[in-house]
Amino acid sequence: MKVCTDSCLFGAWLADKIQRRIIQPQSLLDIGSGTGLLSLMLAQKSKASINAVEIDENSFQQTKDNFNESKWSKQLHAFHADIKSWIAPVKYDLIISNPPFFENDLKSGNQNKNVAKHHDGLTLTALLVCISKHLNEESFFAVLLPYHRIEFFKKIAALNHFYLVDELLVKQTPQHSFFRGMLLYGTSKQNWSSNELTIKNNEGNYSESFNELLKDYYL
């Protein structure tokens, strides 16, 4: 799977919260790691021990290779497993996921892409069950979702007794509608904030907010 701008933004958004000590995880779980991008971004801003679980064999191998070739390899660990049946070695202070986006949508002829992008392998409801199973008592999780799935996710998260801490709604340009949402949840009730970010300005350049988040990652 290609590295997408919204995934980079999601990783940078979370890394910024770690750097500013809004969240301070000692243990971190990445569900559906793909290339290992998110784990690698957060490893640069955190001393947390990071476990990444990936069901697709080729993607797992890419995660593993990228971990091994990075200078943060000692804190990064890749697991080839189905998160629904995986037995974790520890409980986690932070769980992150860029889960399958689509449900009842037209699929491609590539089964690996279907597992990554569609809910055949992991529905949002099943994802919350897995998160509940692996979280510490006072902890957080974060997801990257298509904008049209946000309200549904908020409803099922509330039913599972999770509390929204922060959300970032993302649009491509000022003229576009929102297309992604980044949600940070906690296990205890607290005040929450909602913010917006536009990736590119009217001149077609990356916005100041985007550049500020990605400056440590983009050349």
> How confident is residue 23, by pLDDT bands cut at 50, 70 and 90?
very high
Q: Per-residue pLDDT tens for 26-82?
A: 999 999 999 999 999 999 999 999 999 999 999 999 999 999 999 999 999 999 999
Q: Per-residue pLDDT tens for 128-159?
A: 999 999 999 999 999 999 999 999 999 999 99
- pLDDT exceeds 60 at position 109: no
Q: Which two tokens stand for residue 35?
A: 């290339």
For 141-209, the DSSP string reads EEEEEEGGGHHHHHHHHHHTT-EEEEEEEEESSTTSPEEEEEEEEESS----EEEEEESB-TTSSBPHH
Q: What pLDDT, on the 0 to 100 scale, is given for residue 105?
A: 47
pTM to 2 decimal places: 0.91
> How confident is residue 118, by pLDDT bands cut at 50, 70 and 90?
very low
Q: What pLDDT, on the 0 to 100 scale, is given for residue 100?
A: 80
Q: What pLDDT, on the 0 to 100 scale, is given for residue 115?
A: 44
Q: How far is it, in rounded angstroms, from Cα 186 to Cα 165? A: 6
Domains of the chain: 5-159+178-214 (3.40.50.150)
> How confident is residue 162, by pLDDT bands cut at 50, 70 and 90?
very high
Mean pLDDT of 3-8: 92
- pLDDT exceeds 50 at position 209: yes
